[in-house]
Structure 1
Amino acid sequence: MGLRRQFRRLPPIAWRDARLAELRQSERSLRSQLRELQDGASRDSRDLALELKRAQLQLATVVGERDRAQAILRDPKYTPREPSWHTRVAEQTRVGRYTARRDTEREYPRFRLEEKLHNYELARSYGVPTPRVIGSWPRIEEVAWQELPESFVVKSDRGYSGTGVLPLRRHGDRFRLIDSEDELSVDEIVSRFRQARHVTGPYFVEELLPGTGAVLPDDIKIFAFYGEVADVMVRRVAKHADLASFSYRFLDAEGTDRGQVKERLRHDPGIEVPRDLGQMVEVSRVLSTAVPVPCLRVDLYQVPDGMVLGELTFLPGSSETYTVEHDRLLGRLYDEAESRLNLDFARGRPHAMVFGPHSRDLSAPIDTAGFGAAR
């Protein structure tokens, strides 16, 4: 059996072939009906005219579906012939599982980017503002709740997609989420962290960002490819951890709207361009060249007096939802960034993080003008 025939026997391909055969048969039947209706169109019959219109609409739908299915077979979204961001993310995730099993001493620098406190130190070493850390404890049960301020954020050092992050305000002997009326006891907070997936200590408490009141600030996520910024995703969070309440706007490095480049997200062109976008882009360029990876997502917050780092991520998730064109754009930027990084390795760049010259003290107050003033 030839390779192409074997390929077409795979379930998704075989299903498409069967559907195409069904569509072709349906198209032939509809065309035949149309000819019969057109032959009798001279009769003054309203019912016949309506039936003709319905048949034409049905035919257009069938032909459109057939053409889309054929296009998928001819030019699939992910193909080795074209660069692909999703393919790159999936590849690195797969290889990373093998590396993680062998890296028992946590020597691989890429995995350090999963640690929030490490990333805060890296950012502060370049004068990039980060939240002030009030305290850190090995276990969530050990947090000194009674000694904390009226409002704060409690986090796990490792966690994904908002898990292990709770912005809280004291309310009597309980705590209320910043952006809702929901209240939690200490036991409920502890239980929430225990049950969260992929969350590990230490657990730390940081100051609430300046300007945060009843709502959370927009989350600005910048995709940087070893010194080159591609996307600025501005995410508006109406309610903490409620994905259905999120809305998004994608910009380029200059603040131009990219439109709906990610499918199934609620695109909102009314979300404001961050006031300090230029400085945020420069911060992202600097931090992305400080780490030995082709791509770094730099999460920042716009606050009244400047900006503050949220976190760093080297493999942002949900990569399969980009449009074909944008997936290939990001894939090309990843390929080019990896080639530049490999050449720098050959020229002597260390495989470790490259820290800047400034203090890494996370207990120091937030200096939202730190990056601009330090450079």
Structure 2
Amino acid sequence: MKLQNYLPTGHLWDNALSLLNARKRLGYFPNSRQPRTFNEHILAQKWFFEGELELAKRITDKAQVKDWLTELGRDDLVVPTLGVFESVEDIETYHFEGELIAKSTHGSGEAIIRTAQNGKAFTREDLEVFRSWLAEDYYKRSREPNYKGLRKRIIVEPLLRDETGNPPKDFKFFCVNGEPFAIQVDHGRYTHHTRQLYDTNWNLLPYAMCYERNPDPMAKPALVDEALQSARQLAQGFGFVRVDFYFMPSGLKLGEMTFFPGNGAELFTPPEGDTQLGQIMLEISGKR
């Protein structure tokens, strides 16, 4: 278990640990009080969260966000739910069908994909993984305030596939003050993970973030403009949020909404990309 799980919590501790983590990963000591880079902006939001934090917590919960979408009249964005479980025993006795994906409602980055056979989908090893998810307090691990106090549950959804028969690409819309300014596209997330960044006019940006960058731009998907409009709607009221969509043959589906991507420690190649994206954020927010 990581050291931060044993260290004190609270605003000062959370931010100090986040800055030290970013310094270790980025190679520079971020200035979260006067942010200039993309990562500094993300860390600054830990010092002063712009928006309603309780709403951010609800949106972060992978089950509760679906109720929020319904209240907004955006049922069209909701991915169906097969079940939400508070114990491993409930999962073990549930009758599943088809291809499915399991995630924790209170964590980030974890997923298990399986195909049910005779009503059973998960192995003993999978159930032990679920047990570890239910035992983890992701807030202590990440020190992201929107995860603090979330109910610990496992959500199971049908596995989405796009028109090629593969799991859909992730299209992630970075928004400041409700305005999208960049689009992250993840390819082959469960195979060979690559990533591209585009501006909102679908120009490929000349830097990579965390993963290898394919230098060949992809054709602009038909749903980009609709996704930009939906991202504007969902991002209202927050300083920064990343709105993630799946582009499906039937239309858009919301993946998740993220307030602290990479925990403010995303490596850029070349490093200048960190500053360039940060400057765009300053221009939009009027703080340049």
Could you tell me the TM-score, scaled by structure 2's length? Answer: 0.70
CA distance in 2, matches of 1:83, 1:172: 55
Q: Give matches, 1:203-214, under 5 Å.
A: 203-211=154-162
1:98-146 deviation line (CA, Å, top 9, x unaligned): xxxxxxxx97333333211222222332424111112222223312655
Residue 167 of structure 1: which of 104, 113, 120 is its match?
113
Cα RMSD, aligned residues only: 3.3
1:189 aligns with 2:189: no
Match of 1:90 in 2: 43
* Alpha-carbon distance change, 145 to 336 in structure 1, aligned in 2, over 3 angstroms: farther
Residue 315 of structure 1: which of 245, 253, 260 is its match?
260
CA distance in 1, matches of 2:89, 2:80: 21
- Matched AA of 2:89: E
- Percent identity of the aligned residues? 19
1:41-61 deviation line (CA, Å, top 9, x unaligned): xxxxxxxxxxxxxxxxxxxxx
**Which fold has the larger relative contact order, with Cα–Cα distance below 8 Å and residues 6 or more apart in sequence?**
2
* Alpha-carbon distance change, 81 to 133 in structure 1, aligned in 2, over 3 angstroms: closer
The structure where helix makes up a greater share of residues is 1
CA distance in 2, matches of 1:251, 1:228: 15
Q: Give matches, 1:229-248, under 5 Å.
A: 229-237=180-188, 239=190, 245-248=192-195
* Alpha-carbon distance change, 335 to 126 in structure 1, aligned in 2, over 3 angstroms: farther
* Alpha-carbon distance change, 145 to 333 in structure 1, aligned in 2, over 3 angstroms: farther
> Deviation at 1:82?
6.3
Kept in 2: contact 1:295–1:337 (CA 8 A)? no
Q: Give matches, 1:195-344, under 5 Å.
A: 195-196=132-133, 197-198=136-137, 201-211=152-162, 215-237=166-188, 239=190, 245-262=192-209, 265-268=211-214, 269-289=216-236, 292-317=237-262, 319-322=265-268, 323-335=270-282
Match of 1:131 in 2: 79
CA distance in 2, matches of 1:270, 1:168: 32
Gaps of 5+ in 2: 1-26, 139-150
Kept in 1: contact 2:35–2:41 (CA 8 A)? no
Gaps of 5+ in 1: 1-71, 97-105, 176-183, 341-375
- Matched AA of 2:244: D
Residue 152 of structure 1: which of 93, 100, 120 is its match?
100
1:236-263 deviation line (CA, Å, top 9, x unaligned): 12526xxxx201111111211112243x
- Matched AA of 1:219: D
> Deviation at 1:266?
0.9
> Deviation at 1:316?
0.8
Kept in 1: contact 2:130–2:154 (CA 8 A)? no
Kept in 2: contact 1:219–1:299 (CA 8 A)? yes
> Deviation at 1:195?
2.7
Aligned residue for 1:216, secondary structure, equals coil
> Deviation at 1:77?
8.4
